[in-house]
Structure 1
Amino acid sequence: MTYLCRSERPLLCPLLKLVLKPSILLGFQLQQDQVLNSYDELKIVVEGGNVTLTPEVSMKEEYTVNWRQEKSTGQRLIAQWKNFKTTIVAYQDVLQLDLKNGSLTFIGIRREHSGLYSFQILEGKEEHSGRYYNITVYGKFPVRQGSPKWVLEARHPASSPSDKSCYVACSVKNGPDVNLTWFNGPTIISSVNNSMHISMTLSLPLEIQPENKESFTCEARNPVTVERKTLSSTKWCPSHHPGTLSMPLVPGLS
């Protein structure tokens, strides 16, 4: 376990490390973990969007507002409001601090900005108020020419002529909390998500029997974005002949 000494007298740190028992250090760690897992307000935003954190306190000249990013390794000051003057310490390319009310705004937020943030208002040296915010940034399913992100592929097993089934795979670029689901009407056929390997493409296969003439819908979803594409088995599996048919579902993808 790593012990981080925050004593105002750094020379005492080695002594404090020897004196403090492991159980006490564990208590410090548990308290820190509780802070990271608790918050006053949750902010969910799509990558590239804007989100504002507001103190909701009438500013006074004698106030000092410290905005911090909370991590398991400790706090990091990112912005400060003092005497109706603002200072951006970190993320200068995305942060704006309102001069009138001390609100902190992320402009064009990115996934790496997800996490816990807090503000502390000091009146002189005494704490006046504070609040914790949990920002969760989700990616949207992008549509980019020349970079397929959402593809259906139908395969007919040439090696097994007796197998008349058509195998369809729905794929999408993976990300945090992405779920991929096949529907037959309102009925869920199968579903998959993989939060452990978000850098990998998420794919979900579907077997269509030759006598099945229905339509199927593949849905990709995360908490802020939903995309659905429907295929007709008669179009995608005509005659169930051996070979491969592949096409992007979003116009412009190739």
Structure 2
Amino acid sequence: MIPVVRSQNYLGVFGAGTDEVKSVSVMEGDSVSLNTDITEVQSKDQILWMFGPQETRIAEIHKQNIDMYDSNETFGDRLQMDIQTGSLTIRNIRTEHTGLYKLQIFSSRGTSYKRFNVTVYARLPFPVITSNFSNCSSSSSSSSSSRCSGSSSRCSLVCSVLNVSHVTLSWYKGISVFSSISVSDLSISLSLPLEIQCLDDSYSCVVSYSFTNRTTHLNNTDLCHTCPDFIQPSHLIPLISAGLLMVIAVVVLVKYFHCKNCKQATQEDLTITESEYTQIVYCLQTGDLLQKPLLDVGRTETAVSYQHIQ
């Protein structure tokens, strides 16, 4: 988890001038680095780190030697100092390491100071979504912010987190906040109810600090089962597909039988009777076919294939 650093300017005096205080937020168990912004510590530079209201010395570089003092009493083996830059890293930080860290830099260029206000937050739990099935009842209301296909239903849900402080608990629909509640200093359990008109998977519950969060998505197949006569959109997909297939099949069959009847009608139109055939043969034998109108054989504007009979 990347710590969040916020800078604030305070008029503070280690000597004289403006002293910058950087606010750092970090979750318990993560690591945080407090940077000196020095590219390389020179041989005569002195870098001193202090912690707490008593300004207890916890780490120092002097004449390119590192001294960790008695930091093990408070930090164990969590502190690490960079010999090249003088930056201080706290690994696996705990809530008791919250406080003010002071940095003094003595060099040939003069003396400078920095302060870091580090706040360590307890790790966020994932919110838990539960439902009350007895509160799921049919409704004809159409004022819901979300509309589903089929009959409407209402369902009561509750999202909860235990033993939290400085957090906000929120219901989201997509990327929009649906409802929220916040708590400051007290370590308490938070619950946030939600009543929805119909079920879909766009709802989620989020518990958040100012710099990080944990999210639980509402799974409508596991929580708050659908009410009677309620059809989810996902259930309509196979029904719609089957209906379309039936319509296509009917259209194909109609076209097939229609074309078959047309073909049969065409063949019947080109069929000549025995008397007509006899008349054609007679004309061929007498050489009189070209002079005979087609009406003589009972056809108008109909092409008849024939061979001259010797």
TM-score range, shorter chain: 0.5 to 0.7
Deviations 1:202-241 (A, max 9, x none): 22122345xx344422122223333332325675333669
Is the 2:156–2:196 contact (alpha carbons within 8 Å) kept by the matching residues of 1?
yes
Which residue identity lines up with residue 207 of structure 1 in the other structure?
A: E
Aligned to 2:5: none
Question: How far apart, in 2, do the equivalents of 1:185 and 1:55 lie?
Answer: 42
SS in 1 for 2:36: coil
Change in 2 beyond 3 A, CA 1:76/1:153 = same
Which residue in 2 is equivalent to 1:155? 132
Q: Which of the pair has more CA radius of gyration?
A: 2
C-alpha contact (below 8 Å) 1:46/1:224 kept by paired residues: no
Q: Does structure 2 retain, via aligned residues, the 8 Å contact 1:180–1:191?
A: yes
Correspondence for 1:223 among 202, 205, 210? 210
Q: Is the 8 A contact 1:94 1:108 kept in 2?
A: yes
Alignment coverage as a number of residue pairs: 194
The amino acid of 2:105's aligned partner reads I
Please give the alpha-carbon distance, in whole angstroms, between the structure 1 residues aligned to 2:52 and 2:134: 53
Partner of 2:177: 188
Other structure's SS at 2:55 match: strand
Q: Could you give the per-residue CA deviations for residues 157-192 of structure 1, whole angstroms, max 9, x where no partner exists?
A: 58xx99996431111234343211112334422101
Gaps of 5+ in 2: 1-10, 14-18, 140-152, 229-310
Would you say the 8 A contact 1:138–1:224 is kept in 2? no
* Corresponding residue of 1:113: 97
Q: Structure 1 residues 205 and 39, CA, compared in 2 at 3 Å: closer, same or farther?
A: farther
Alignment check: 8 A CA contact 2:138 2:154 kept = no
Q: How does 1:16-165 map to 2 (within 5 A)?
A: 39-57=20-38, 58-71=40-53, 74-88=54-68, 89-90=70-71, 91-122=75-106, 128-142=111-125, 149-157=126-134
Q: Which amino acid aligns with 2:183?
A: N
Structure 1 unmatched ranges of 5 or more: 1-29, 33-37, 143-148, 242-254
CA distance in 2, matches of 1:207, 1:176: 25
Distance in 2 between residues matched to 1:128 and 1:98, nearest whole Å: 20
- 1:37-79 CA deviation, whole Å, 9 max, x = no partner? x7443333333222222223342333332211143xx422222
**Residues 64, 170 of structure 1: CA spacing in aligned structure 2 closer, same or farther, 3 A cutoff?**
same
Equivalent residue letter for 1:101: T
Report 1 or 2 for greater relative contact order, CA contacts < 8 Å, sequence distance ≥ 6. Answer: 1
Partner Cα separation in structure 2 for residue 234 and residue 106 of structure 1: 44
Computed over aligned residues only, the root mean square deviation of the Cα atoms, in angstroms, reads 3.5
**For residue 195 of structure 2, what is the aligned residue in structure 1?**
207
**Structure 1 CA distance for aligned equivalents of residues 138 and 35 of structure 2:** 65
CA shift at 1:98, angstroms? 2.1
**8 Å Cα contact 2:127-2:215 kept in structure 1:** no
Sort the Cα spacing of 1:129 and 1:83 in 2 relative to 1 into closer, same or farther, 3 A.
same
- The structure with the greater share of residues assigned to strand is 1
> Which residue in the other structure is 1:7 paired with?
none
Give the secondary structure class of the aligned counterpart of 2:185: coil
Cα distance change of structure 1 residues 133 and 189 upon mapping to structure 2, 3 Å threshold: same
| CA–CA separation in structure 2 for the residues paired with 1:121 and 1:186 | 46
TM-score by length of 2: 0.52
Any idea what SS the aligned residue of 1:180 has? Answer: strand
Q: Tell me the SS of whatever aligns to 1:238.
A: coil
- State the AA in 2 paired with 1:151: V
